[in-house]
Each structure stands twice: as structure tokens, then as C-alpha cells.
Amino acid sequence: MIPQNPQKPNQTRQNLEDHQNRTPLQSTKERRAPLKDLEHQNQPHQKNPITPPLPRNTPSSQQRTPSSQQKTPSSHQKSPSNQQKCSVTPKTKSPPANPLQMITKNMPESFSQTRDALYAHIKIIWNLMEQKTIPGPPPSDSLREFNSRFSDANEIEQTAENTNAPSLIPVKDIQTLKSLKLGRRKVGKGLVHLEDFFVEYTQATLARLGLRIWAPDLEDSPDSLYNEACRQAALKTFRQAACSDAYAYMNINKNHAKNLQLLIPTYNHYVHFLQKN
């Protein structure tokens, strides 16, 4: 028989030799691999340029904090400027109140009806019952006549209160209330009931004080003797009219109608403040 593949043993041997020869080559490659890895580790890391922004952002954010803190003093610096404005433009002081002006809050709430009744009483004896009537000055001869008779305020008060005192002038010469219509009348904010006694009592009081006409002198001091006599006459006749129910329709408080501490400032307010101004 002819032997097949006579060279096979040789080829096998050759293959073994080739395999043995290749093995050291592969092992050198494998030995070089860790050297490359070591060289790669020793080389600087160039593929990470993106990671450095993280440490860069940290100082930049830290730098913003002082910048924001620097704004705080600037906001505090506005306070002195505001304080300077307040010192440059001081508040204007309100003018002092007129001592004759009545302060409503200082009066009792229940006094309003009695106050309106006193206003109505003054309008009646001053002949100001028509709206927008301007009071006129007292006659000059009446002023001279009065000043020749009185020289003391206490004397005027005693004469006004003493109903038995003699009349200084005849009652028939009194001009006040001479043409007054009696009955129920609307005066100011309320209704009044005027009777003969109201007229007679008022004229008798003026005759004792020597006043031919009731007309305060708004150009003179409220404390002058003549103006004191007008005030005494007005308050005396008002208290009497309040007791006789002349102002009952206005629902006045009769206790307030006798209280001079309320009536005197109310009178001064209406006569020497409102009417004068």
C-alpha cells in the first residue's frame, strides 16, 4: 500500500516548532501590555479638560459672595441720605389755635343741642334770624353812654343778676326785640317758642345794664366792659328762656343750660370767633 501523506509527521513537527516559536512572541506582547498601561498612567490625563471647570466655578461663586456683600453697605448708605432729607425739610408747625375757638371734643356729646339753642338765642336778640345777615357795630353814642356808667366787671355781673336793680334807661327805649314776631319760629337748626315773657324779660335785663340795643363790639376786646355786659345779658336771658321751655323743641339739656363753664366758651366761640371771622 502506498502510504498517504508521507510528510505529515514532518508537518506536525513543523507546526509544533512554529507554535513554540510563536508563543514567545505573544508572551512579549502580553509583557508589553502592562508597560503600556504604566506609561499611560504616568502620562498626564489629557482627556479630562472638562472636569477643571468644577474647581474653577467654586472660587468664582465664592467671589460673588463678597460682591453681594459689598452691595449691603451701599444700601445702608441710603439711610443717612434719608436722614439728611428729614433734617433739611422739617415739619411745618401748625398755627396756634385761637383761644376763643371752641374745641368740640372738649365738650360733652350731650351738649350739642344746648349749644345750638344758645346759637339760636344769640341770633334772636342780635336780630340775625335771616340767613347770611351780617351783624353791625354798636352805635357810638350807646358805647359812650355805657362807658360813663360802668367801670368794673363785677358791678356789671351784679347788675345783670339782680332783677330788683333799677333800670338805667326806660324799657320803652330798648330797640332789641321791638319788632319780634311771637309764636313758634324756626331759628338756625331748631324751632323756638317765643312768648311775651321772653321779650319782657330780655328788655328788662338790657334796661338794667343801660344797653339800648344788644350789639357786641367785634372790633374791641372780648373782655371789654361793654362786651362783658353783652355777654352777661345774653347768658342771663338764655338761662331764663331755657327754664321757661322756649327751647323745649330743641331737646336741650337743662343742666347744661345752667353750666357757665360750657356756656361762656360757647358764647365766645360764636360771637367773637365765628361772627368776627
Q: What is the pLDDT of residues 122-147, one digit of tens each?
A: 999 999 988 788 899 999 999 999 99
The identity of residue 157, as a single letter, is E
pLDDT value, residue 68: 46
Tens of pLDDT along 225-243? 999 999 999 999 999 999 9
Cβ atoms within 10 Å, residue 270? 19
Tens of pLDDT along 146-167? 999 999 999 999 999 999 999 9
Query: Which backbone phi and psi does 260 adopt, to 5 degrees?
Result: -70, -25
Residues in the chain: 277
- The overall average pLDDT reported for the chain is 77
Q: Residue-wise over 226-245: b if at least 16 C-beta within 10 A, else e?
A: bbbbbbbbbbbbbbbbbeee
Question: Is residue 22 over pLDDT 80?
Answer: no
Tens of pLDDT along 86-98? 555 555 555 557 8
Q: Identify any residues that bridge with 185 across adjacent strands, giving them in sequence order.
A: 192
Cβ atoms within 10 Å, residue 30? 9
DSSP state, residue 194: E
Residue 250, C-beta contacts closer than 8 angstroms, at least 6 positions apart: 113, 116, 117, 120, 189, 190, 191, 192
Instruction: State how far the alpha carbon of 130 is from the alpha carbons of 81, 97, 263, 275, in Å.
Output: 59, 30, 23, 14
Q: Which helix (H) or strand (E) holds 192?
A: strand 190-194
Question: Is residue 47 over pLDDT 70?
Answer: no
Extract long-range pairs of 42-47: CB within 8 Å, 24+ residues apart.
none
Tens of pLDDT along 170-223? 999 999 999 898 998 888 778 899 999 999 999 999 999 999 999 999 999 999
Average pLDDT rounded to a whole number, residues 4-26: 48
Question: Is residue 16 over pLDDT 60?
Answer: no
Extract long-range pairs of 192-196: CB within 8 Å, 24+ residues apart.
192/117, 192/120, 192/121, 192/124, 192/246, 192/247, 192/249, 192/250, 193/245, 193/246, 193/247, 193/248, 193/249, 194/124, 194/246, 195/244, 195/246
Average pLDDT rounded to a whole number, residues 25-41: 45
Question: Is residue 28 over pLDDT 60?
Answer: no
Question: Is residue 245 over pLDDT 50?
Answer: yes
Q: What pTM, to 2 d.p., does this model score?
A: 0.65
DSSP labels, 233-269: HHHHHHHHHHHTTTTGGGT--TTGGG-HHHHHHHHHI
Number of H helices, E strands in the chain: 9, 2
Average pLDDT rounded to a whole number, residues 99-114: 88
pLDDT value, residue 187: 87
* CA contacts within 13 A on the Cβ side of 71: 4
Tens of pLDDT along 55-68? 554 444 444 544 44
Residue 115, C-beta contacts closer than 8 angstroms, at least 6 positions apart: 107, 266
Tens of pLDDT along 68-84? 444 444 444 554 445 45
